[in-house]
Structure 1
Amino acid sequence: MHTLTIPKMRFWLVLQQLALIIIIITTDALKNNETDHAALLAMKSKTLDPFGGGALSSWNESSHFCNWEGVFCGKRHKRVTLIYLSSSGLSGTLSPHVGNLTFLRRLWLNNNTFHGEIPNEIGGLYRLKVLSLSSNSFQGRIPVSLSRCSSLMRLFIGYNNLVGTIPEEFSSLSMLKVIVVHENNLTGGIPKFVGNITSLESFSAANNLFGGTIPNNLGQLKNLLQLGLSNNQISGTIPSSLYNLSNLNVLSLSFNNLHGSLPPYFGNMFPHLELLQLQVNNFTGQLPNSIGNLTKAKELCFDSNDFSGKLKVDFSKLVNLLRLNFNFNNLGSGDFDEMHFLESLTNCSDLDLLSTVRNQFRGVLPDSVGNLSSNMHHFNLAANQLHGRIPPTIGNLVNVSLLGLAYNRFTGPIPSTIGRLQKLQRLTLFENQLSGTIPESIGNLSLMNELYLSNNNLEGTIPSSIGNCQRLVFLRLEQNNLSGTIPKELFQVSSLSILLNLSHNHLSGPLPSEIGELKSLTLLDISNNDLSGEIPSRISSCTSLESLFLQGNMLQGSIPKSMEFLRGLKILDLSRNNLSGEIPTFLEKLSLINLNLSFNNFNGELPLQGPFANSNAVSVYGNDRLCGGIPSLQLPRCPVNSNFFFSSKRIFAIVGASIIIGILILISSMVFYLRKRKREPTTLELLPKESFVHVSYGELLNATDGFSSNNLIGAGSFGFVYSGVLDQIGDVAIKVLNLVNRGAMRSFMAECKALKDIRHRNLVKIITCCSSIDFQGNEFKALVYELLVNGNLEKWLHPSQETSRLEFNLPQRLSVAIDVASALDYLHFQCETPIIHCDLKPSNILLDQQMVAHVGDFGLARLYNPEIGISHHSSSMGVIGTVGYAAPEYGLGSEMSIKGDVYSYGILLLEMLTGKRPTDLMFTGGLNIRNFAGQAFAGEAIEIVMDPTILQSDTATGQRDSYLIAMVKIGLACSEELPQNRMSMTNVVRELQLIKETMFK
């Protein structure tokens, strides 16, 4: 019998222990593999893959999870170390089980549509180095638990809907190099602890709601390359410590409330700076000469501040410069060499944009302007005080697409070399003192979209070569000394779709019949010229026309019958011509809000319907042979054929008819009396009787002079609105429902139900709901409101001739916007049962004597319980708003929500700023009110995009434009296509109030 020696026994014992350890490790690995497997399946269960066979189609049992798409494992332990599902079209929520992937080092889920909160369990990923959740719809707060991810180096959570502050606990993340939290709704200040994370290379917190000042200790971040704090509410000055960040290549502080001046050494402190954005702040003082030492700079933005004084910067060393923007400041000194800085810019061979709109430059444009970069696309010196001639060398800028020299004092001719700019799309030379003729070479600009030559001293004829500009959309030649006939080639530019204005010139001859080629044109103004002949019948082909101005000419003949096909016409002015004949009745059927036929030779009886029923919509002064019409027009009565009255048969017919009518009235009175005894007028049964005061049908009849057309102040889908005076109340507005119209009864009940218990300063006050029997025994229903004397917002935004002289400035519009937002915030969040208005638009917003706005017309309103959805007791009609204002998801069958009201509000706000209806015919081919208004962010586009009335504000230009841009931003945020991306009305009120406080401080 052999026995093991001691060494052999020890060997076998060690071998057994090693085998046991291997078994334990293998078992643990298999167990941990199962943990990862389960975690991934849990993530899949919470994720929606709209493409079906998309990124997650391989996540099944047919293969090991390390082989699934977007999943990467370590070679040693076969544990998940990387998930990469960027831009995969995924949605849903992020499962808390993601926290079980403890070997995960990188998680990339950016550019999808995940929503819900970021789970706290994500803090369990202690090996995590990169977290990228940007460009989703995550909500809630940034989880504090992320501070446990001690290895985290890059955090990307921008472009979401996160709220709250950046957690203080993040101060422990000592390895962080990148923090990207921009485009959220984060609040508080920029945390001071960020200055202690000395490893930080990039901090981007733009487009949030951060306030306070820039922390001084950010100057400790010696490794910082990028600092982005734009589009917040940060105030104060730039701390001097920031000038220690010599490695910065991006410094973006735009769209804040920063003030102070830039120190003289500013440009010496950032030798690596490529992007400097200081626009839309309150900086003052002179631009330091040292800016010329930013030799790596590619983009310098100083616009919308209050910089002043002479621009002395030598830009010759900025050879990489692409964009230079000084718009909306007070730069300029009046020195003879004012524009010398342009000379130094000729060394910037890649310069793409140079813009100095609305400053105080007073010099002469030097010939050296032709030596600027041949790559220049955008060159705009508009709204200064530049004088002298436009140098012919301007023709060397052969790649320029926008050339803006408007609102200056240029004299002399338009150089013919302008025809060399064959890539030009927009040319603005209006409001100068240019003379001479329009050069024939203008016809070489075949890519031109917008041409503005108005308000100059140009003479001669309109060159026929303009017909070569087959992409023109805008053309303005008004207020010049142009003469001769209108070339027919102009009317053959079928692309003209928004505006053609030739008014206030000396154009003569007839209107060419080719006018019918302008089928897409919205506004045509040829007024105040010397045109003769008749209005061509082919004008009926201009089916998109909304405004037609032909007044102040020598046109003759009658109004052509073919004009009845101009169904979209809203404004027609034919005054001060030699037109004759009877006024055609088809004008009654057009949707005219302003019709001016004054001072012609029209005769006969004036029609009574359509615009002729409203003395504020029609003007017929100076037509001595007109008669009839509504009494307020004060025309003589039309003569009556006397043979009719003296015919015995006619007399017999009249007497017989009178007797029959008398008998019918007697019978009706008896029926009414009998019915009245059985059914007295009652208030609406769905409401408590004490909710409203009781008003009878007879009282309403007396209050409105028998529902006279003189008292008619509005009309809607379900009835008419009259003004009236009730004895016990005073001035009121009375909405009478036409119960024949489908949905009228439900609209009536919805409005009474919605308004019976709510009271708010910015809601129209309902006095009573009347439900009774009229004198003919018919059912009668009406709503009585307080009368708001300044009418509805529609009339202020799109005034007729009578209201066009009334001022509606920026502060007033801002106040109205706040009033409406406050009303919606009350309806959505402060009522016991939230209310969705469902039909917010200008005509449903009324203004009182102090221009306080009141939201009205709750005929489509829905009561909303967040737990059970739309109330069955609210309006159940299929109508869910008005085209242009209704949220896009409604068209796809989505349930109504408060987010739908937010969308309508966003469109309304953009309409208030641009003066354009969302249904304006200019919005075609992908252009809509959102991207039209969004052009305001380009700075110089403000003069085109914004309602001209706003631009006449007394507010300093730079400040005014910053307010406008901030308001446009809110309008765009409210009208996002996805409901979850829209602002809440609470935030809208707060943001607008901040703008108002800044405006009036």
Structure 2
Amino acid sequence: MDHHVLIFLLVSYLLIFLSNPFPILAAGSTNKSEIDRHALLNFKLGIVDPLGALSSWRKDLHFCRWNGVMCGKAHPFRVVALKLNSLRLSGQLPSSLANLTSITQLELGHNSFSGPIPEELGTLPKLQDLILASNMLEGKIPESLGNTSRSLSYVNLADNILSGGIPYSLATSSSLTALILANNNLSGGIPHSLATSSSLTRLDLAVNRLSGMIPASLFNGSSQLAFVNLGWNLFSGPIPDFHSMVALQNLSLSGNNLLGSIPASLGNVSSLIGIYLDSNNLGGSIPETLSQIKNLSLLLYNISSLVRLDLSQNNLTGSIPASLANSSKLQMIDLSRNSISGEIPSSIWNLRNLVVLRLSQNKLSGQITPAVGNLRRLSQLNLDSNSLSGNIPASLGQCKQLTMLNLSVNNLEGHIPTQLLNITTLVSLDLSRNDLIGSIPQQTGMINLAVLNISYNQLSGKIPLSLGQCLVLSFLHMENNQLDGVIPQSFMNLKAIQQIDLSHNNITGQIPDFFNSFTALEDLDLSFNNFEGPVPTSGYFRNGSVVDLYGNTKLCASVSMFALPICPTTSTVLKKRHLINTRLLLIVAPPIAIAFFSFLCCMITLLKKRTHTASIYKGTMKKVSYGDILKATNWLSPVNKISSSRTSSIYIGRFEFETDLVAIKVFHLDEHGSLNNFLMECEVLRNTRHRNLMKPVTLCSTVDLDNNEFKAIVFDFMANGSLDMWVHPKLYQNSPKRGLSLGQRIRIAMDVASALDYMHNQLTPPLVHCDLKPANVLLDYDMTARVGDFGSAKFLSLGLSSPEGFVAIGGTMGYIAPEYGMGYKISTGCDVYSFGVLLLEMLTGKRPTDTMFIDGMSLHKLVSSAYPNGLPEVLDPYMSQEGDRAFASSTLQGYLIPLVEVALSCSMELPKDRPVMHDICAKIFEIGESFL
């Protein structure tokens, strides 16, 4: 063909194309869009959709309008995001998802997808966010995902059952900035490629089963890490040296098996705000040679931005470095439970920003200097269980924000300073087991103490009348002193009191009748005093097991009770009978008592030899016998009993040669279901590990003195009692009501939500509590919430089906999900409902069983009807941190309304209308982080 003709034809085709290019391009665009549509339909074909979330995925509707599908704005329309979180979808992920070549966000978290992660996902060229959290995926993380690493900026594969290691290709991503795999069951070590990443800023591998040594390359000079959390794993060996890291702010290596000393090179990281090395096996003393002191000074001087330092529960020795004061921004120092000795350096008292100082359970000596008064922002001071001596400085009264002061188990002497009682914020005061003398200050009743423990001292004089003004006082311990006089009549105002121990003093007079009207009183110990006259016989005194009157020889009773003689009457016959009985008692009782005591001692000795003691984690927990528990609880004395239910009783105690208080849960094995509760609780405690769950100290499974089966679980003592006590404090006369601030309620909600998220989404199989309520949420000394009482809990399994799944379910009226009686099987949604009710109760201060809820009204309906404009009328006004500003518009809109929204959505009647716990937890934490 002539070349002129060819040129003519080419020009003609070009002109035709330029004049109308769209049909040709449209065909190409249509093909690409059609590929996306087919990929989505293929995805839908292979999954189960119980909620109908994909009902809009119809052929007559453009796929860009399908639920969860987002397309780009430019032609051709391509899928750029697929977000189908928390829809209960199940099935396997198809490889055809790799045909969505324009997708940047693939979010399928909080469903029930199973099987492996498709290898083909690694071919997606634009993928940035891959979120497959909280499913049932298994197998290895595909190596191919590393091929996507040029654009991948965030990876979240949390809460799955992935096996194998983290692929090298993913770890070496040049742009991967955050890797969060916390709260899983991952094992193995940290890959070298991950430890040498130069792009990571956030690394969270906490609460797994990772082991081995922490790679030295993790803390090299080129690292951009700002947040590192390797806590609560099985890492061992020493902490590696630190190079000059400019970004690291928070470092947590808590709860591992780390050995050796704290590296002085940590001082190279001048940007640190928080250091958490607690609960390890770190040891060594602080060096005393000149060169080493310089290194140590470098550690503490360079980190001038340090705010929180936690080195507690290690094996550290030596003294506290004076250079600690160089970190002038410090707000929290926790060096408790070590073997640190020497005196508290005076420079500590210059840390004027200090809020929490815990140095308890060490070997500190010397005196508490008056300079402690410089700590004007101090809220908690724990110096208990040391060898401190001298007087309690009066300057402590200048710490006007102090809420908790514990100086117990020391060698302190002198008088109790009256200045302490000028601290109006003081809630808990423990000066027990010292050598204090003199009288109790008369101003004691001027502050709203909830806990007062001045037992085991040498205090004398009368009980102050003003103590009756402590209207919120719950725990009063004055035993083993030299107090005299009578019980003040003003004690009749202590309606909130739960425990009173005045034993082993010289108190006289009659036992007041007003104790009969105390509805909250659980334990009353008046033993070994000089009380006289008749014992009250009505009200509280009808239950002889909760009153101890032993050792008061002048008491009598109008009826036969408390093993006391009958009070004399005008009848001569009765007088003679009483005289005869008294003489017989004097003759016969001593030898019987001696014989019984001897028999008891022999039985305990024999019992110790035959006691079988079990530990929940073999080889890691202290063994205790039945005899140990008897000693710790004063022979299971009613005075030591904290609470009681049908299946168990909880006692407060202290084991011999130990300083920590413990809570001992003794099961009533003669009650139906009690043994099953014990076994279930052991199974839960054996398989769980979370900071917001009650953790056991040990357990005891043996026989008692009568050869009956005996079972008990020992827990750490929760100093602030239950959430129920704080949400529903007693209000008497015109006294101010002491409750929780809004901030405290948010923190507790965060703690409980975190615990439930762990139980539902991070355990295999999932765990359902089945009896979540404020009484089962305990508060530690720092108000950290811990969920407890797992006797009714259930691990979900395929064998648990309706209706049999509900036969052994416990629960408490008002907190039980409605579907319990409607044939539904047990699910995590039951706990979600209970959490919603608990959150509503925290926000309103009203119980779901309140008498106002009649004729179909409920706590949920009350709050729902007031939402949103009427909320100030139903919310608890005592949660304010700033008086009448609690319900200011910003607080209401920013925090309270979002919290109420979460609570209402959780407490919906139909299970399908409730969110899942992971989403709830995320929302609560979002609110909490904004507030805090």
Q: What range describes the TM-score normalised by the shorter chain of this pair?
A: 0.5 to 0.7
Shift of 1:462: 1.8
| Conserved? CA contact 2:270–2:303, under 8 Å | yes
| Aligned position for 1:971 | none
User: Cα distance, 1:237 vs. partner?
Assistant: 1.3
Q: Distance in 1 between matches of 2:539 and 2:274?
A: 53
SS in 2 for 1:624: helix
* Residue of structure 1 in register with 2:317 after alignment: 332
Contact 2:158 2:181 in 1 (8 A): yes
Contact 1:554–1:578 (CA<8 Å) still a contact in 2? Answer: yes
2:103 paired residue number: 128
Question: Quick one: structure 1 residues 716 and 563, their matched pair in 2 at CA, closer, same or farther if it must change by over 3 Å?
Answer: closer
Structure 1 residues 420-477: Cα deviation after superposition (integer angstroms, max 9, x where no partner) = 212112111111111111111222222222221111111222223222321x332211
CA offsets 1:667-701 (integer angstroms, 9 cap, x no match): xxxxxxxxxxxxxxxxxxxxxxxxxxxxxxxxxxx
| 8 Å contact from structure 1 (residues 299, 323) kept in 2 | yes
Instruction: Classify the secondary structure of the residue corresponding to 1:166.
Output: coil
Name which structure has the greater RCO, CA cutoff 8 Å, separation 6+: 2
Query: Between Structure 1 and Structure 2, how many residues are aligned?
Result: 650
Give yes or no for contact 2:220–2:242 (8 Å, CA) kept in 1. Answer: no
The alpha-carbon deviation at position 45 of structure 1 amounts to 12
Question: 1:136-192: per-residue Cα shift (whole Å, max 9, x none)?
Answer: 355535622432323323334446665554334433333234333345454444445
Percent identity between matched residues is: 30
Q: 1:583 to 1:244 in 2, by over 3 A?
A: same
Question: 119, 122, 125: which one pairs with 1:147?
Answer: 122
Asked if the contact 2:143/2:170 (under 8 Å) is kept, the reply is: no
Match status 1:889 vs 2:817: yes
How many Å separate the matches in 1 of 2:227 and 2:795? 49
Alignment check: 8 A CA contact 2:168 2:193 kept: yes
Which residue of structure 1 aligns with residue 453 of structure 2?
A: 476
AA at the equivalent of 1:403: L
After the TM superposition, which residues 320-719 of structure 1 pair with which residues of structure 2 at under 5 Å, given as runs? 320-333=305-318, 338-339=319-320, 341=321, 343-372=322-351, 374-470=352-448, 472-497=449-474, 499-564=475-540, 571-582=546-557, 584=559, 597=562, 600-602=564-566, 624=585
Write out per-residue CA displacement over residues 37-68 of structure 1, whole angstroms, 9 at most, x where no aligned residue.
99999999959699xxxxx9999999999799
1:77 to 66, 75, 78: 75
Structure 1 residues 161 and 348, CA gap change in structure 2 (3 angstroms): farther
Q: How far is 1:299 from its partner? A: 1.0
How far is the alpha carbon of 1:409 from its aligned partner? 0.9
Q: Tell me by how many angstroms 1:365 deviates.
A: 1.3
Q: TM-score, normalised by structure 2?
A: 0.59
* Aligned residue type for 1:381: L
Contact 2:800-2:825 at 8 Å conserved across structures: no
Q: Give the Cα separation in 1 of the matches to 2:769 and 2:378.
A: 48
What amino acid sits opposite 1:316 in the alignment? Y
Distance in 2 of aligned mates of 1:864 and 1:331: 45
| Secondary structure of the structure 1 residue equivalent to 2:301 | coil
Task: Say if 2:341 and 2:365, in contact at 8 Å, map to a contact too.
Answer: yes
Say if 1:67 and 1:348 are closer, same or farther in 2 by CA, change over 3 A: farther
CA distance in 2, matches of 1:736, 1:408: 43
Q: Is residue 137–residue 981 contact of structure 1 (8 Å, CA) maintained in 2?
A: no
Structure 1 position 382, deviation (Å) = 0.8
Output the CA distance in 2 between the equivalents of 1:379 and 1:371: 13
Q: Decide whether the 8 Å contact of 1:601 with 1:623 is kept in 2.
A: no
Q: Which amino acid aligns with 2:508?
A: S
Per the alignment, in what secondary structure is the counterpart of residue 533 of structure 1?
A: coil
Given the superposition, is the C-alpha separation of residues 66 and 142 from structure 1 closer, same or farther in structure 2, using an over 3 Å criterion?
A: same
> Deviations for 1:559-604, whole angstroms, at most 9, x for unmatched residues?
213334877x86321111135434647x7xxxxxxxxx46x54579
Distance 1:359 1:22, change over 3 A: same
Whether contact under 8 Å (2:154, 2:177) holds in the other structure is: yes
Q: Counterpart of 2:817 in 1: which secondary structure?
A: helix
Q: Which amino acid aligns with 2:72?
A: G
How far apart, CA to CA, are the structure 1 residues paired with 2:582 and 2:338?
46
The within-5 A match list for 1:69-468 is 73-77=71-75, 79=77, 102-104=78-80, 106-107=81-82, 116=90, 119-120=93-94, 122-132=97-107, 136=110, 138=112, 140-141=114-115, 143-144=117-118, 145-158=120-133, 163-175=138-150, 176-244=152-220, 246-247=222-223, 248-263=225-240, 266-312=241-287, 313-314=296-297, 315-333=300-318, 338-339=319-320, 341=321, 343-372=322-351, 374-468=352-446
- Amino acid paired to 1:870: P
Paired residue type of 2:214 = I
Greater Cα radius of gyration, structure 1 or 2: 1
CA-CA distance at 1:355 after TM superposition: 0.7
* C-alpha contact (below 8 Å) 2:115/2:136 kept by paired residues: no
Are 2:391 and 2:415, in contact at CA under 8 Å, matched by a contact in 1? yes
| Conserved? CA contact 1:129–1:152, under 8 Å | yes
Aligned-pair CA distance for 1:359:
1.2
Instruction: For residue 407 of structure 1, report the CA deviation from its aligned partner.
Output: 0.7
Distance 1:78 1:534, change over 3 A: farther
- Contact 1:379 1:404 (C-alpha < 8 Å) held by counterparts: yes
How many angstroms does 1:323 deviate by?
0.8
- 1:537 deviates by 0.9
Gap regions ≥5 residues in structure 2: 288-295, 569-580, 597-644, 648-667, 677-681, 684-702, 716-763, 773-790, 849-910, 919-932
- 1:602-1001 counterparts in 2 under 5 A? 602=566, 624=585, 791=708, 869-871=802-804, 880-881=809-810, 883=812, 888-889=816-817, 893=821, 895=823, 897=825
Change beyond 3 A, Cα 1:344–1:114: farther
Query: What are the superposed Cα offsets for residues 58-95 of structure 1, whole Å, 9 maximum, x if unpaired?
Result: 9999999979999765332273xxxxxxxxxxxxxxxx
Give the whole-Å Cα distance in 2 for the aligned partners of 1:621 and 1:354.
60
Q: Distance in 1 between matches of 2:201 and 2:795?
A: 52
CA distance in 2, matches of 1:868, 1:286: 53
Cα root mean square deviation, aligned: 5.5
Q: CA deviation at 1:505?
A: 1.1
Name the CA distance, whole Å, in 2 between partners of 1:45 and 1:163: 18
TM-superposed deviation, 1:304? 1.2
Whole-angstrom CA distance in 2 between matches of 1:31 and 1:794? 70
CA–CA separation in structure 2 for the residues paired with 1:387 and 1:571: 39
8 A contact 2:483–2:506 mirrored in 1: yes
Whole-angstrom distance in 2 between the partners of 1:284 and 1:581 = 62
User: Alignment partner of 1:260: what SS?
Assistant: strand
Amino acid aligned to 2:524: L
What SS class does the counterpart of residue 283 from structure 1 fall into? strand
User: Are the aligned partners of 1:369 and 1:393 in contact in 2 as well (CA < 8 Å)?
Assistant: no
Native 8 Å contact 1:188 1:209 kept in 2: no
